[in-house]
Structure 1
Amino acid sequence: MTTLPTELETQLQSLEQSAQAAIAEAATLDELEQLRVGYLGKKGQLSKVLGGMGRLPAAERPHIGALANTTKTALQTALEEKKATLQTAAIAAQLADEALDVTMPGVFVSQGRIHPINSIIDQIVDIFVGLGYTVAQGPEVETDYYNFEALNFLPDHPARDMQDTLYLTDGQLMRTHTSNVQIRYMKAHEPPMRVVAVGRCYRRDTVDATHAAVFHQIEFFAVDKNLTFSDLKGTIKVFLEALFGEIPVRFRPSFFPFTEPSAEVDVQWQGQWLEILGCGMIDPNVLQAVGYDPEVYSGFAAGLGVERLAMVQNKIDDIRRLYSSDLRFLRQF
């Protein structure tokens, strides 16, 4: 009888012993995976030993096959047990490295506060959303058409001088109001509509206690059938009462190229009247510019100076304090 079965048995026993020893010494999961592939992979050592079974008599193959399965099962079990051990050790090491020493003093991180400008913007938007208005935005870098022409500012009209701004080399400009959003929104939507727009604006203003060259503005406008100045006045009254409570308010006749009739709205501040917004009925020329029939639709619009409203609400005496980043000032809010 051939001695091949004895040789294969010896090889299998030797393979299992060497594999068990290597598995026991493995220090990482990567090493363990390399051992699994080296011993049990398709091209591993077990497969090489079993390659000699083809030279065995048919009657002896089942015995060697059973012995090979036993060896394979033993190695798989050893690999799984070692893997579980290494994983547990890795988790324990991570927990030890990331442990929090609760006896150490904590690092103080001061709590931030909402800036007065952002705070009042949120309040105003919430009021108008509650009135059924949609929030819209537009670009700060604008074309002459959307900032002036479509709003009925004729090229040589003196009203343009009142909104002198920063002009760019490509002919565009930094918008002087959020009314550009009004034009863009109306061109893209059909009435009825009620919209509130928020954003930063730029004008060549002399900086003083109530003026800044860069400021924030909120514009709200509505277009529908049969809207009147009474609807505008009522909306402004409801808005100001929601924001300030009972406060003296007055409407003064004024002029804006894009509204007719127009008015300025003032409130009491520091014992005097402070202009906080301009308003009026949307000029028919503006409605025609966006493709609306002024014989069918009417609308109103108003622009609010956010900084001035923040000054009234928080009793701030100088608009420049809002931009100073002085913590002694900001910590009051």
Structure 2
Amino acid sequence: MTDLIQLQTELMARIDAAQDLAAVEALRVEALGKSGSISELLKSLGRMSPDERREQGPKINGLRDAVATALATRKAILEEAELDAKLAAERVDLTLPPPPERRGRVHPTMQTLDEMIAVFADMGFGLAEGPDIEDDFHNFTALNFPPKHPAREMHDTFWLPDGPTGERKLLRTHTSPVQVRVMQKANEKLPSWIANGQEPPIRVIVPGRVYRSDSDATHTPMFHQLEGLVIDRDITLGHLKWTLDTFCRRFFETDAVVTRFRPHHFPFTEPSAEMDVQCDRSGGSIKIGQGSDWLEILGGGMVHPNVLRNCGLDADEWQGFAFGLGVDRLGALKYGMPDLRDMFASDVRWLEHWGFSAFQAPNPATGLS
């Protein structure tokens, strides 16, 4: 009896002193394992007389139960302490905002350009492109600009240094040179990266960057332009008006758009006109399709016979119309951006505010995101 009490006292003390789960497990094996001290005592009951078993059995079983309970209690205490320590070390403060996640955005200019291309593509226009660096013939002469026209002067045009042969290149002031290249005969052997010339009928749009020495809230030295060209037989100014009216209704996503044509002058079209849209300027913003004010948004007209002849086409057989729109300016009007210069300022905050998600639902007017 004294030996059992001493063994229980010793085991209880060691269990209470165990500092980790490994120590508790070692004590369990030592006391209750197959060859443990208490297990050996239980085995000895078989060698005892019936009277001894009746006396010692309850005491040994009581010792086993007491030690097992102490081991389970100590194990639970140590597991809870270990979990608390782990939680304290790996705690995440859910009250803090998540770190900002940088996501790419579609620039408003590219969004606007995609919408414009989609509208004209639905009307059967193809796409043509050309070089940003042009020569005088394609940028001016072929488009019926007189030799002393003000647009040739330095205050409007970015001229490049004279070449080895004395020819001066320039940054194109409009995308109209691509119209010239499209109208020129296909046997000009144009480089593959320039839109190939083709015979009429022609129906193309020409998007791209253009450059002019001008900068204020509504003008930038580099901007994006989209021009259109249609060449066929029996083309009239009425075809031009229908094309531009249809474009405005679809682009601004309202059938309430009202337009008007005002006579104007462009060297490459005759007759020429500027087109206004009816708008409301109240409240510090411009709202298209309502109000009683007018806003000029584009220019166009019937292709000048001299331009047709300069491009190798018979002006007595072919005629057509051309027009030009500022991509950045139309985007600013549609989405309410006040200053065109912000579109080229490379300000990530501005782009996060005005940019478009590449994964947003398609625009019902254009079919584009």
Structure 2 residue matching 1:189: 3-state secondary structure? coil
Counterparts in 2 of 1:137 and 1:307: CA distance versus 1, 3 Å: same
Bigger CA drift: 113-122 or 270-279? Answer: 270-279
- 1:89 corresponds to which residue? none
* Correspondence for 2:349 among 311, 317, 328: 328
Range moving further from structure 2, 298-307 or 317-326: 317-326
Query: For the Cα contact (< 8 Å) 2:259–2:275, is it kept in 1?
Result: yes
Match of 1:274 in 2: 295
Q: How far apart are 1:107 and its partner, in Å?
A: 9.6
CA deviations over 1:33-63 (Å, ceiling 9, x no partner): xxxxxxxxxxxxxxxxxxxxxxxxxxxxxxx
For 1:127 and 1:162, the matched residues in 2 are separated by 36
Q: What are the ranges of 5 or more consecutive residues in structure 2 without an aligned counterpart?
A: 1-89, 93-97, 185-196, 287-292, 356-369
Percent of residue pairs bearing the same amino acid type: 46
Residue of structure 1 equivalent to 2:175:
178
Compute the displacement of 1:163 (Å): 7.6
- SS state at 1:239 partner: helix
1:262 to 272, 292, 308: 272
- Unaligned segments of structure 1, at least 5 residues: 1-102
Whole-angstrom CA distance in 2 between matches of 1:162 and 1:274: 29
- The reply to whether residue 239 of structure 1 matches residue 236 of structure 2 is no
Q: Would the aligned equivalents of 1:159 and 1:257 in 2 still touch at CA under 8 Å?
A: no
Q: CA separation of 1:219/1:162 partners in 2, compared to 1, >3 Å: closer, same or farther? A: farther
**Counterpart in 2 of 1:307?**
328
Deviation (angstroms), 1:328: 3.1
Aligned to 1:4: none
**Aligned match of 1:51:** none
* Structure 1 residues 161 and 247: CA distance shift in structure 2, 3 A: farther
Matched, 1:224 2:232: yes
CA contact (8 A) 1:163 1:176 kept: no
Partner SS for 2:213 = coil
The aligned residue for residue 213 of structure 2 is 204
**In the alignment, what sits opposite 2:144?**
152
Distance 1:228 1:162, change over 3 A: farther
CA–CA distance in 1 between the matches of 2:99 and 2:338? 37
Provide the rounded CA distance (Å) in 1 between the counterparts of 2:155 and 2:216: 17
Runs (4+) of structure 1 exceeding 6 A deviation are: 105-108
Q: CA deviation at 1:331?
A: 1.9
TM-fit CA distance, 1:111: 2.4
Deviates more, 1:227-236 or 1:127-136: 127-136
Q: Which residue is equivalent to 1:24?
A: none
CA deviations on 1:72-131 (whole Å, 9 max, x unpaired) are: xxxxxxxxxxxxxxxxxxxxxxxxxxxxxxx9x999753211100000000111111111
The equivalent residue for 2:67 is none
**Which TM-score applies when normalising by structure 2?**
0.59
For 2:301, the aligned partner's letter is: G
Structure with the higher helix share, 1 or 2: 1
Query: Aligned partners of 2:155, 2:246: CA distance in 1, in Å?
Result: 29
Deviation, structure 1 residue 190: 0.5
Rounded Cα–Cα distance in structure 2 between residues aligned with 1:240 and 1:163? 32
CA distance in 2, matches of 1:148, 1:107: 54
Q: Deviations over 1:192-218 (max 9, x none)?
A: 01001111001111x221111111000
Distance 2:225 2:296 in 1: 13
Partner of 2:133: 141
Greater C-alpha radius of gyration: 2
The 2-side partners of 1:186 and 1:215 are apart by: 24
State how far apart, in whole Å, the 1-side matches of 2:151 and 2:209 are: 20
